[in-house]
Amino acid sequence: MIRIANVQKSFKDTEVLKDISIEIEDGEIFGIIGQSGAGKSTLLRCINGLESYDGGSITVGEQLVDIKSKKELRSLQKRMGMIFQSFNLLERLDVYQNVALPMKFWGIPTNTTDAKEKIMNLIRLVGLEDKVHAKPRELSGGQKQRVAIARALVLDPEILLCDEATSALDPEITKGILALLQKINKEMGITIVVVTHQMEVVKQICQRVAFLNKGHVLAVGRPEQLFVWPKEREIRDFLREESDKLPTTGVNLKLFFYGEGNQRPIVTQMSQELHTDFNICWAKLEDFREDVYGSLVLNMEEKDLEKACAFLDSKDVTWEVIK
């Protein structure tokens, strides 16, 4: 659906995007994550033509993103819906009028029976049928974002771009918004690209993710692959991994669990079979789209390391020694 190839972008003397290459599949929910200043939002704005780029190419379907051609850019942007952290609703308009606004911008009649039904169906989809005539000041943050989502869908886009869409919301409201995005993706088949710095967003809805660091793509893959067993130091730093909390004596051995591996009493079996004790000094479980992945760190004497690793290999448990 979206092919980003060797894209470069600078603001004056500051290089913001450095040879970015990513492919986003049709119908998937794809996350772009990283620290503030990594280039996430700039990349998103390049995808929908709000920003130009200095080198490389971005293709949506078969259409090249070329901001020099206003006609092509207008056609491209009609295929995309966009939602922002700040909602961008017009205060003088009610919910119905805000949702209908893109149709007016594009010269599409909003007073026909079909148009009215479409707008109301979208308002029902986001769960605001009882707020049709409410003004933005009468809505909560989560309700405002639901209006923004309905508005982004009114032109039947193929792609929904979300720029920090849940950053201003509390965790419980965020869960509801993410569930709504999953529903839209599943029922309407819309490709969703999510820019965020929130791990909970990535874990709950993203099928794949790109991790950006200082304008570079550091890694692309499934969230559970990148974030449960992060190999890159920058990702570990982003996740605030456990290294500064571990014992400085003995050896620290990290184990990774997923799927059926979560159900096995591996540590107990290893302690009994090897006739030794281990200290569990750090552990976490994470829910990725209803699958639980986990890791824990055992501290042991150095003399026990070799036989512990051999035991784990025999049980097909992934492990690494934490330096």
Written as tens digits, the pLDDT of the chain (323 aa) is 899 999 999 998 889 999 999 999 999 999 999 888 889 999 999 998 888 899 999 999 887 777 777 788 888 888 899 998 888 899 999 999 999 999 999 999 999 999 999 999 999 999 999 999 999 999 999 999 999 999 999 999 999 999 988 887 888 899 999 999 999 999 999 999 999 988 888 888 999 999 999 899 999 998 877 777 777 777 777 776 655 678 889 999 989 877 655 567 889 999 999 999 899 988 877 777 667 777 889 999 999 999 999 999 998 888 889 87
Collect all residues with Cβ–Cβ distance below 8 Å to 34 and sequence separation of at least 6: 40, 197, 211, 212, 213, 218, 238
Strand stretches in 164-288, DSSP E: 191-196, 208-213, 216-221, 251-258, 279-288
Q: Given this model, what pLDDT does residue 43 score?
A: 94
The reply to whether 92 and 34 lie within a common domain is: yes
Tell me if 245 is assigned to some domain. yes
Q: Where residue 263 sits, what CATH number does that domain have?
A: 3.30.70.260
Tell me if 234 is assigned to some domain. no
Residue 182: name the closest of 163, 203, 197, 167 by CA. 203
Q: Given this model, what pLDDT does residue 259 score?
A: 61
Tell me if 148 is assigned to some domain. yes
Q: Given this model, what pLDDT does residue 242 score?
A: 56
Residue 1: name the closest of 197, 223, 208 by CA. 208
- As for how many domains the chain has, the answer is 2
Tell me if 236 is assigned to some domain. no
Pairing label, strands 80-84, 159-163: parallel
Task: State both tokens at 158.
Answer: 């193929």
Q: Where residue 10 sits, what CATH number does that domain have?
A: 3.40.50.300
Of the residues 229, 264, 283, the one at which a domain ends: 229
Half-sphere exposure of 25 (CA within 13 A, CB side): 10
The reply to whether 84 and 125 lie within a common domain is: yes
The reply to whether 224 and 249 lie within a common domain is: no
Task: Give the domain range for residue 259.
Answer: 241-322
Give the integer Cα–Cα distance in Å for 258 and 278.
21
The reply to whether 41 and 145 lie within a common domain is: yes
The reply to whether 13 and 147 lie within a common domain is: yes
> Angle 141-153/113-125 helices, nearest 10 degrees?
140
The reply to whether 91 and 58 lie within a common domain is: yes
The reply to whether 126 and 270 lie within a common domain is: no
The reply to whether 132 and 270 lie within a common domain is: no
What pTM, to 2 d.p., does this model score? 0.83
The reply to whether 27 and 163 lie within a common domain is: yes
Q: Given this model, what pLDDT does residue 49 score?
A: 87
